[in-house]
Amino acid sequence: MLIRRATTRLCLRLNWAPLHEVPLPNGRRADVLALRPDGGFVCIEIKSGARDFLTDTKWPEYRAFSDAIFFAVDQDFPHVLLPAETGLIVAVGLEADLLRDAPTHALPPARRRAQMQRFALLAAGRLAAAEDPAGWAAMRTALRAE
């Protein structure tokens, strides 16, 4: 949980707009999908330890929905395990630093547009739910009844 919070704070410092637990069209879920000021998307996979990383091999499937992939880990994580084609974020307590930038692989324009629309709808929906939880719950119930 601390890595997640530290990663969020880093995103905000970098002027990135982070969303947590973002469902992707391929059925995967990104730990963090952040929108950068240049319109690029960054997928950040949070790893709690070496075992978590070694048993989770789905991260390459995020490439189709982001311009760059980062791993966020704590200071004790063995960095040599992480692939060179990804960026590295290291968290210490509630703070994190970007230690290695990720190579960019630009999304095709049509996919970027679709991703931007999904991102905006998810962010707006979450904001509406935070502002009016009862109204959001009533709307979700009504949608399920249809």
Q: Walk me through the domains of the chain, giving residue ranges and CATH numbers.
A: 2-107 (3.40.1350)
Which residues, in sequence order, are CB contacts of 43 under 8 Å at separation 6+?
30, 32, 33, 62, 63, 65, 66, 68, 69, 70
The pLDDT assigned to 55 comes to 92
| Residue 94 DSSP SS3 | coil
Which residues, in sequence order, are CB contacts of 139 under 8 Å at separation 6+?
none
The pLDDT assigned to 1 comes to 76
pTM for this model (two decimals)? 0.90
As a whole number of Å, the end-to-end CA separation of the chain is: 37
The pLDDT tens digits for 86-104 are: 999 999 999 999 999 999 9
The pLDDT tens digits for 102-121 are: 999 999 999 999 999 999 99
